[in-house]
Amino acid sequence: MASLAGKVAVVTGASSGIGWAVARELAAHGWRVGLVARREEPLRRLATEIAAKGGAAVPAAADVADRGQVEAAVAAVRQALGPIDLMVANAGVGKATRLDPVNVADVEVQFRVNVLGVVYAFAAVQGEMLARRSGHLVAVSSIAGFRGLPGESAYCASKAAVNVYLDGLRAQLHGTGVRVTTICPGFVKTPMTADNTFHMPGLMTPEYAARKIVTAIRRGKKVYAFPWTLAALTKFSRWLPDRLVQRVMGAYDTDTDQPPAP
């Protein structure tokens, strides 16, 4: 990682959870980090913390669902720190999918943030990376994208869309010098999972997840899903009868607006 010290990374969703921890981990390895999220105050606190440890970080408030705001935030980071070498599109939201009435507004928000937020973040840096024939595009997706789960149709579908988008992008960018990595974590202890009352197998701290993610970035992984046991079980569940999936998973979202998925 030392050879990458001094390069510039942008992390979206850096105001808490995985994004906060990934930004800290990158800074600890010498990256200069652009911090992007809607809430500016936590970003400033994180930038101060990184600076106190000898690092460099620039907060740039933006809603990733708004392309103009994303472009402006990335431009501010670029002006302060230099060309972007790494984009970590991490920002995400989750809401349970209701049956009657269908909470269409929540579904729309999840797709705007979870899918278009990735597209906008990548679009803000792809041009410069292609021109330099160097760069790394990373999206934090989820094991939940491996199959649809009851009560989580929209969340799982949005993460599946990210996975497939990056698959195609990775093939399209082959030979350009721009790498693409899909990160699919399992359950991480974040504000998104804080209200879950059920057992979350393999629950990780954001710090642990961040170390795994940064290692995968360093190694240039194409797709990195962890923990592998949960990833394998989720993939296997696609072949299970719907009645069994409903029996095991159907009660997860009954009384909460937070998704139980990773």
Q: Which active-site residues does the annotation give?
A: 155
Q: Which of 112, 120, 90, 109 is nearest to 17 (CA)?
A: 90
Sign of the Cα torsion 31, 35, 41, 44 reads: positive
Angle between helices 40-52 and 17-28 (to 10 degrees): 20
> Within a 13 Å sphere around the CA of 54, how many CA atoms are in the beta-carbon half?
5
Distances (CA, A) of 258 to 43, 96, 122, 249: 24, 6, 27, 14
The C-alpha atoms of residue 247 and residue 25 are separated, in whole angstroms, by 39
The C-alpha atoms of residue 94 and residue 188 are separated, in whole angstroms, by 13
**Dihedral angle computed from the Cα positions of residues 55, 56, 59 and 63, in that order, rounded to the nearest 10 degrees:** -90
Phi, psi at 99, each rounded to 5°: -95, -45
The C-alpha atoms of residue 26 and residue 94 are separated, in whole angstroms, by 25
Rg of the chain, C-alpha, whole Å: 18
